[in-house]
Structure 1
Amino acid sequence: MILKGKTLQNPTSPQASAGQKQEQNVAFFLRRAFKDNPEILVINDFKFTFNDETAQIDHLIVYPYGFVLLESKSIKGHIKVNQQGEWTRSYNNQWSGMPSPIKQVELQQALLKNLLAHHRQEILGKFLGIKQGFGGRCWDHICVVSSDTVIDRNTMPKAVSDKLVKSEFLVDKLHKIMKLGNKLLRKVNVYDTRPYFNQQELDSIGDFILSQHIDGNRQISEEVNKAPEPIQHSQTNTTSNNSVPIAETQPTAQANLSCKNCVESTNYTPMYGKFGYYIKCNHCSKNTPMKQNCPQCQSKNTKVQKRKETYTLHCQDCSVESQLI
């Protein structure tokens, strides 16, 4: 299931354009393989902060047994990695060093593990009175390079070669890593001792990760195909010198948020729990989910996101963003 598509930007250099194209290619293969699988959650272009550190993960996969982080790299020409793990690449017959994408994604992985561990109780809650956590889960990371990259695997350390794959072989590699098997046999498979998340826990993890995403400047999602809404011009009178009226963009829609028990619409406290964002009514103490149907198209395919102290409802079908709080 695709929880977040690749976000397109306006590249300012040929290198940035090539990098974005590579990320789009990887997102394409992930969408083709997993869009209809509710047990495999795909989050593209995930940026988050924790403990005053910021990380951006090109592609993140959450599945019943753990997590896989993918770092996309557009590399034209040859790449080599020596026994010390140092990377070099060729471009126009000129060799130069480059940062290790494996080390880069390892740093991202460490920060994500700390973030999830810190919020483990609110994400996973308790089972039989015991606090759940992320211990024992599988953590893997891969560098995905362009299909036209020439890889010198003969001199490359095996540990690096195992984490390096071309785009068209990515899905095969992921299946080998995840080893999902038959869902019905997990509880009785004594040979597979990996702890796993059930569907409820997967959904909670996915909702939490989406809530932590940091939006940058206004960007265009590759999954949004609708035409932009026309600019609405103000109806104020123009001056005698025929100046052009100031253009105003259409404001964000406002969703109705109130307690489902007593219909209180102002006296509540926003909170986050195992099933996502909700409000706790200060009048009757009942909880009400923030997630609701889109006020524009009535679709149930919506997600709640938090940006600082603002909560918004994002419709995945009509792309309307409605302010909740």
Structure 2
Amino acid sequence: MILKTKSPQNAKSAQAIAGQKQEHNVAFFLRRAYKDNPEVLVINDFKFSFNDETAQIDHLIVYPYGFILLESKSIKGHVKVNKQQEWTRSYSKQWSGMPSPIKQVELQQALLKQLLNHHRLDVLGKMFGIKQGFSGRCWDHLCVVSSDAIIDRKSMPKAVSEKLVKSEFLVEKLQKIMKLRNKIIRVVNVYDTRPYFNKEELDSIGSFLINQHLDTTAEPSIVPQAAPKLAQPIAKPVVTRPQPIEQASVVEATTMIRVALQCKHCGESTNYTPMYGKFGYYIKCNQCTKNTPMKQACPQCKNKQTRVQKSQETYTLNCQECSFSQQIV
């Protein structure tokens, strides 16, 4: 199941265009293989932040046993990796070094694991009184290169070679890693001892991750400003109009507007518990025990295209229309 498609980008350089083409190519193979499979959740171009760090994952796969991160690389010539796992590539018969995409995706994986473990109770809850986590699940990562790349696997370390795959063989490689046994429909393989997510947990993880995505493609709306006026005599009243005060109110709007939460059923505004569920963040009223979504219309422009994000114990309402952002109280 495809939870998020590849985000559109305005690539200009030849290298950026080639990289974008490779990512679209990988997204194509993933869509063909898993668009109708409820056991495999695919998130393309996933960008998130945690603990003041930001990461961008080209393709993220969530399945009943764990997670697979894919780093797409457009490599048209030869690629070699020495025993120290240092990468080199050829372009127009010229060899040059390149950053290791394996090391890059390992950093992304570490941050994603920290994010999920921090929110594990929100996403997974408890089972038999035991706090569930994500560290014990299956975590894999691959580098997917162009199908016309020439890979020198003879001199390449085995650990690197196993994580390097061409686009056309990607799905076959994923099937070997996932080894799906239809856990969701409860057909259990007694020889498979891997811990797994049930259908409800898998859906909760997918919803949580989509809610964490940082959409950088939406450009903030530009408020048209009046053309500058010609200089006027000082005696004219137009010069003395309190226009700077009006502009200051616009600049300070985000600091003056506060987003308050209250139960939509009984009106309680202090005695509630923040929680996370299938449809995002919400508050559970401790008075009437009913739920109220944290997501609401933007207080500044009244647009409903908003998103709630959590950083540690802080919840923030972000508007995709006017870029308003404010802590929820």
Specify the TM-score bucket, using the shorter chain as the normaliser. 0.7 to 0.9
Say whether 1:277 aligns with 2:277.
no
Structure 1 residues 311 and 282, CA gap change in structure 2 (3 angstroms) = farther
1:131 Cα deviation (Å)?
1.6
Structure 1 residues 210 and 312, CA gap change in structure 2 (3 angstroms) = farther
1:274 Cα deviation (Å)?
3.7
Q: State the distance in 1 between where 2:184 and 2:277 align.
A: 24
1:98 Cα deviation (Å)?
0.5
1:34 Cα deviation (Å)?
0.6
1:88 Cα deviation (Å)?
0.5
Partner of 1:287: 291
Say whether 1:183 aligns with 2:190.
no
Structure 2: gaps (5+ residues): 225-260, 297-304, 310-314, 321-327
Q: State the distance in 2 between where 1:290 and 1:164 align.
A: 42
CA contact (8 A) 2:64 2:198 kept: yes
Partner of 2:253: none
Partner of 1:306: 308
Q: How does 1:1-325 map to 2 (within 5 A)?
A: 1-183=1-183, 188-218=188-218, 261=265, 271-275=274-278, 276-281=280-285, 284-289=288-293, 305-306=307-308, 309-310=316-317
Structure 1 residues 36 and 311, CA gap change in structure 2 (3 angstroms) = farther
Structure 1 residues 185 and 49, CA gap change in structure 2 (3 angstroms) = closer
- Give TM-score scaled by structure 2 length: 0.73
Q: State the distance in 1 between where 2:74 and 2:268 align.
A: 50
Partner of 2:237: none
CA contact (8 A) 2:113 2:135 kept: no
CA contact (8 A) 1:81 1:156 kept: yes
Structure 1: gaps (5+ residues): 220-232, 234-256, 293-302, 314-324
Q: State the distance in 2 between where 1:23 and 1:134 align.
A: 27
Q: State the distance in 2 between where 1:41 and 1:268 align.
A: 36
CA contact (8 A) 2:262 2:270 kept: no
- Deviation readout 1:302-325 (Å, 9 max, x if unpaired): x98425732679xxxxxxxxxxx9
One-letter amino acid of the counterpart of residue 276, structure 2: G
Report the secondary structure of 1:21's partner residue.
Answer: helix
Q: State the distance in 2 between where 1:144 and 1:190 align.
A: 33
Q: State the distance in 2 between where 1:270 and 1:30 align.
A: 39
Identical counterparts, % of pairs: 72
One-letter amino acid of the counterpart of residue 44, structure 1: N
- Deviation readout 1:216-250 (Å, 9 max, x if unpaired): 1427xxxxxxxxxxxxx9xxxxxxxxxxxxxxxxx
Alignment length (residue pairs): 274
Q: State the distance in 2 between where 1:218 and 1:185 align.
A: 38
Structure 1 residues 281 and 311, CA gap change in structure 2 (3 angstroms) = farther
Q: State the distance in 1 between where 2:108 and 2:88 align.
A: 22
- Give TM-score scaled by structure 1 length: 0.74
One-letter amino acid of the counterpart of residue 306, structure 1: V
CA contact (8 A) 1:88 1:96 kept: yes
Q: Which runs of 4+ in 1 moved over 2 A?
A: 181-190, 257-262, 264-272, 274-285, 288-292, 303-313
Structure 1 residues 14 and 188, CA gap change in structure 2 (3 angstroms) = closer
Q: State the distance in 1 between where 2:135 and 2:75 align.
A: 35
Q: State the distance in 1 between where 2:216 and 2:12 align.
A: 16
Q: State the distance in 2 between where 1:49 and 1:55 align.
A: 6
One-letter amino acid of the counterpart of residue 309, structure 1: T
Report the secondary structure of 2:148's partner residue.
Answer: coil
- Deviation readout 1:109-162 (Å, 9 max, x if unpaired): 111111111111111001122221113200000000011111111111111111
Partner of 1:252: none
One-letter amino acid of the counterpart of residue 131, structure 2: K
Structure 1 residues 214 and 182, CA gap change in structure 2 (3 angstroms) = closer
Higher radius of gyration, 1 or 2: 2
RMSD: 3.3
